[in-house]
Amino acid sequence: MKLRYFAWVRERIGKPEEEIEPPAGVATIADLVTWLSGRGEEYAHAFENPRVIRAAIDRAHVRSDAAISGAREIAFFPPMTGG
Amino acid sequence: MAATVRLQREPFDAASEAEKLRRGRSDIGAVVTFTGICRGDEADAPLVAMTLEHYPDMADAEIARHVAAAERRWPLLGVAVIHRYGRIQPGEDIVLVVTAAAHRQDAFAAAEFLMDYLKTRAPFWKQIELAGGGGTDKIWVEAKRSDDALADRWAPSSGRRAAE
């Protein structure tokens, strides 16, 4: 699946997107955040406060308990500040 | 009803967008035009510029979804939403919401609803450049709790965070 990062999540991780294949057992957005956090300091820094991280699956907002199975594109970003 | 939703780097012309909605029609009795503008200061610090990052495909879809929700909720006769992205200087326009209805209450309410949702749910992020000692400091704008509260008041059961 494709991961996309925006704003300071993108800056901390150091790239706008990547392709990943999470291991079996990574079932939800929260699981994915935990798994990504273990991939390196830049991920741990980006996800150090999971409560402020927002997520979207295939371009629709989801909660952290949303299942990721079948997702093509998952995005992580800070709370939005448009308008 | 055909609504206009546009994301663009270029400036927009608020007056001509409002005019387009009502041209040749006599059923519209009220047009509300809201323009959000980049201020020249942030917490008393002079602002050099603001850069809006967005999630292109999701932003379109998310705004269109909220326009459709506004159309279900109020008897609207026209809607236009234009949101800019990229680097914007103080004094320049950022966002435009135009709503048209037979009566003013519906046009006002729908415009406010759309702005409250754009602030908290549309995938845009503002980074500001402040004039610092040896150059400019780039700072991501933090989401305001007061904006969440404003968006929440439109939710079916108030007090619940609108994370769906």
Write the pLDDT tens digit of every residue in B33-88. 999 999 998 878 899 999 999 999 999 999 999 999 999 999 999 999 999 999 99
Is residue B164 pLDDT above 70, yes or no? no
- How sure is the predictor about B1, in pLDDT bands with cuts at 50, 70 and 90? low
* CATH number assigned to the domain covering B4-152: 3.90.1170.40
Sign of CA dihedral B51, B54, A26, A20: negative
Instruction: For residue B25, give how far its alpha carbon lies from the nearest alpha carbon of chain A (Å).
Output: 29
Instruction: For residue A70, give how far its alpha carbon lies from the nearest alpha carbon of chain B (Å).
Output: 18
* CATH number assigned to the domain covering A2-77: 3.10.20.30
* Contact between chains at B55 and A78 (C-beta distance less than 8 A): no
Q: Under an 8 Å CB criterion, which residues of A touch B?
A: 4, 6-8, 56, 59-61, 63, 75, 77-83
Partners of residue A6 in chain B, C-beta under 8 Å: 53, 55, 123, 125
Residue segments in chain A with a per-residue pLDDT below the cut of 50:
none
* Contact between chains at B55 and A6 (C-beta distance less than 8 A): yes
Instruction: For residue B83, give how far its alpha carbon lies from the nearest alpha carbon of chain A (Å).
Output: 7
Question: Residue A28 gets which letter from DSSP?
Answer: B
Token code pair at residue A39: 């991939």
Residue ranges covered by each domain of chain B:
4-152
Measured CA distances, B72 to A66, B32, B53, B58, B140 (Å): 27, 18, 29, 21, 34
Residues B105-163 pLDDT 10s? 999 999 999 999 999 999 999 999 998 777 788 999 998 888 888 888 888 754 444 44
